[in-house]
């Protein structure tokens, strides 16, 4: 090997050290590693969980939720139902500005709600369908009128349909507002480079600026959870979300890192194409007995122990076990390979072949391989197709799948955990499932505010989808966050979102 000059050698060592430890950066720049690149940064069009992480810093909502899943004020300071439950009156926080300097007022609320209800690009139509009118009472008072009682409305306003975009920006950009979202959050949009980073900068005129200690947030997508962890360890990142359970021990053992966890209301499921295009024309899509046989072939406890390191909660329902709307009469069924084989035989099949579409993350691949192995013992030949997360979602939207994995980050109201997937107008009803009885029950449950009465209705809803199996819930998530020792002030919430208020970084 030729002689290398001493100064060149030291330069190489210095470069290697920089790559290992990461460049020095201001304490005000929070760098977060996310599990995939978000979809469109437009509340009217977005559907991904990771998009909600970005929105938590970019777009305030009319209502928020706290660590106990209680509704708390954000852009609205109070809300009150009319005695007949046919209207909700909200008082807005005074002095709030959009990122373009425009005032947040009742007219802005009206414009945004009407956009969610009527714009061709909006996927929020089902969530705001019962709204019959939005009345501006005065600049800081808005009344939402309903065609029928709609108990989930406050929960809807605590999600994307409660986010406000500047009407001035909407007039300028229309459906292209995702390229320059002008919201009301503590951070404003600066830049997005697809599959590389999203940068948000502090909004100085934020209404709650006293709780904002950061100057900039940079989100970087890494599909591989191990790569996210390595970047955290090397100083390239300050925080990572959705850590692989297998990495939790490494974080605990590293004195320079911190592990933060929270039980989640999110669930992971397997979604089946029943009636959306030619890919639905297979035994799994056509015959509920085949879907039942498939469910009997899998062991949720093993999936949790192997892929989840025992940190998740095996589940078969959209509501987590032990929570108010969980159907205790329908516990997680045990694995039954003999029963699966008998059902396949009764349906006229010795072997059923289908493709499982999943995204390119290690835990997703491991889970898919476990399913492939377990189902294989019962007579299923499961082919695995791995794709980038947004590409996989687009394939599902297009009906180009037979079975696909999916995560739902969970909502405080039960309607938000089931209707989006299974109502005939649900915006994530990729497989075109349509059960009139279930649809009628969902409509009835939305008009009931009494918890006991609502639970009885949602028990019937779960009875139906557990019989029809348009999807199969596998487990409820535990949120796992890794942070540098220099980060403080972050409190995980069961919805898994990263709210930047209160977070601090020190050098």
Which tokens in the block code for residue 162?
A: 């409660």
CA distance 470 to 295: 11
Half-sphere exposure (Cβ direction) of 7: Cα atoms closer than 13 Å: 0
Tell how far CA 378 is from the center of its chain: 32
Which tokens in the block code for residue 419?
A: 């209707």
Q: Residue 449: its pLDDT value, please? A: 86
Q: Residue 17: its pLDDT value, please? A: 35
Range scoring the smallest mean pLDDT among 20-29, 83-92, 362-371: 20-29
Residue 219 CB partners (closer than 8 Å, separation 6+): 32, 34, 53, 54, 197, 198, 199, 200
Q: What percent of the chain has pLDDT over 70?
A: 95
Whether this model's pTM surpasses 0.75: yes
Residue 12 has pLDDT above 60, yes or no: no
Q: Say if CB 81 and CB 101 are below 8 A apart.
A: no
The stretch 442-455 carries a mean pLDDT of 94
Q: Residue 9: its pLDDT value, please? A: 33
CA distance 69 to 442: 22
Residue 352 CB partners (closer than 8 Å, separation 6+): 282, 283, 284, 290, 293, 294, 344, 379, 380, 381
Region of 415 (left: φ > 0; alpha: ψ -120 to 50; beta: rest) is alpha
Residue 52 has pLDDT above 90, yes or no: yes
CA distance 216 to 199: 7
Tell how far CA 276 is from the center of its chain: 23
DSSP 411-426: -SSTHHHHHHHHSTT-
Tell how far CA 222 is from the center of its chain: 17
Domains (ranges, CATH) in the chain? 26-36+183-263+479-505 (3.40.190.10), 49-178 (3.90.76.10), 265-477 (3.10.105.10)
Output the 3-class SS for 342-409: HHHHHCCCCCEEEEEEEECCHHHHHHHHHHHHHHHCCCEEEEEEEECHHHHHHHHHCCCCCEEEEEEC
Residue 13 has pLDDT above 90, yes or no: no
The tens digit of pLDDT for each residue in 154-164 reads 999 999 999 99
Which tokens in the block code for residue 434?
A: 């349509």
CA distance 83 to 413: 21
Confidence of residue 25 (pLDDT cuts 50, 70, 90): low
3-state DSSP call for residue 173?
helix
Residue 262 has pLDDT above 60, yes or no: yes
Residue 459 CB partners (closer than 8 Å, separation 6+): 327, 329
Residue 2 has pLDDT above 60, yes or no: no
DSSP 197-226: EEEEEE-TT-TTGGG---SEEEEEE-S-HH
3-state DSSP call for residue 176?
helix
- The conformation of residue 24, written as its DSSP 8-state character, comes to -
Region of 199 (left: φ > 0; alpha: ψ -120 to 50; beta: rest) is beta
Any idea how long the chain is?
507
Q: Residue 23: its pLDDT value, please? A: 44
Q: Residue 26: its pLDDT value, please? A: 58
Stronger pLDDT, 323 or 498, i.e. the higher one: 498
CA distance 385 to 154: 39
Q: Is the dihedral of CA 105, 187, 493, 358 positive or negative?
A: positive
Q: Residue 7: its pLDDT value, please? A: 35
The stretch 265-284 carries a mean pLDDT of 97
Beta bridge partners of 314: 475
The tens digit of pLDDT for each residue in 314-355 reads 999 999 998 999 999 999 999 999 999 999 999 999 999 999
The stretch 12-29 carries a mean pLDDT of 48
Parallel, antiparallel or unpaired: strands 29-34 and 216-221: parallel
Q: Residue 11: its pLDDT value, please? A: 33
Residue 15 has pLDDT above 60, yes or no: no
CB burial of residue 193 (10 Å; 0-12, 13-18, 19+): exposed
CA distance 372 to 367: 9
Residue 284 has pLDDT above 70, yes or no: yes
CA distance 404 to 129: 28
Stronger pLDDT, 269 or 449, i.e. the higher one: 269
């Amino acid at each position: 090997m030729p002689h290398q000059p001493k100064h060149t050698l030291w330069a190489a060592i210095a470069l290697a050290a920089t790559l290992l430890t990461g460049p020095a950066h201001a304490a005000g720049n929070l760098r977060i590693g996310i599990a995939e690149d978000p979809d469109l940064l437009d509340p009217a069009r977005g559907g991904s969980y990771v998009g909600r992480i970005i929105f938590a810093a970019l777009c305030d909502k009319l209502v928020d939720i706290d660590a106990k899943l209680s509704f708390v004020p954000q852009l609205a300071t109070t809300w009150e139902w009319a005695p007949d439950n046919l209207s909700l009156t909200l008082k807005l926080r005074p002095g709030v500005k959009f990122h373009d300097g425009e005032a947040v007022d009742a007219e802005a609320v009206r414009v945004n709600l009407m956009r969610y209800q009527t714009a061709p690009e909006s996927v929020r139509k089902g969530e705001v369908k019962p709204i019959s009118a939005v009345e501006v009472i005065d600049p800081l008072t808005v009344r939402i009128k309903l065609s029928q009682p709609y108990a989930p409305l406050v929960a809807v306003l605590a999600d994307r349909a409660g986010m406000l975009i500047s009407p001035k920006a909407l007039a300028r950009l229309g459906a292209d507002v995702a390229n320059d979202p002008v919201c009301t959050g503590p951070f404003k949009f600066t830049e997005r480079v697809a599959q590389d980073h999203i940068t948000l900068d502090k909004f100085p005129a934020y209404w709650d600026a006293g709780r904002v200690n950061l100057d900039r947030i940079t989100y970087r997508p890494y599909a591989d959870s191990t790569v996210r962890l390595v970047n955290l360890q090397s100083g390239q990142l300050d925080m990572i979300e959705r850590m692989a359970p297998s990495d939790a021990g490494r974080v605990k053992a590293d004195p320079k890192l911190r592990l933060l966890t929270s039980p989640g209301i999110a669930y992971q499921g397997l979604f089946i194409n029943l009636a959306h295009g030619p890919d639905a024309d297979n035994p799994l899509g056509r015959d509920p007995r085949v879907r039942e046989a498939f469910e009997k072939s899998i062991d949720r406890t093993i999936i949790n122990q192997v892929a989840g390191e025992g940190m998740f909660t095996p589940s078969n329902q959209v509501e987590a076990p032990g929570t108010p709307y969980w159907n205790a009469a329908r516990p997680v069924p045990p694995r039954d390979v003999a029963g699966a084989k008998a059902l396949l035989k009764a349906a006229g099949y010795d072997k059923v072949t289908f493709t499982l579409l999943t995204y390119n993350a290690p835990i997703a691949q491991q889970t898919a391989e476990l399913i492939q192995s377990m189902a294989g013992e019962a007579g299923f030949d499961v082919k695995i197709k791995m794709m980038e997360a947004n590409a996989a979602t687009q394939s599902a939207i297009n009906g180009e799948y037979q079975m696909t994995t999916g995560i739902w980050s969970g909502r405080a109201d039960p309607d938000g955990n089931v209707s989006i997937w299974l109502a005939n107008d649900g915006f994530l009803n990729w497989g075109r499932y349509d059960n009139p009885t279930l649809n009628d029950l969902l409509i009835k449950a939305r008009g009931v505010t009494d918890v006991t009465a609502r639970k009885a209705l949602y028990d019937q809803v779960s009875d139906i989808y557990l019989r029809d199996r348009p999807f199969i819930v596998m487990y409820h998530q535990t949120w796992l966050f890794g942070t540098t020792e220099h980060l403080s002030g972050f409190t995980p919430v069961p919805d898994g979102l990263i709210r930047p208020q209160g977070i601090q970084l020190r050098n």
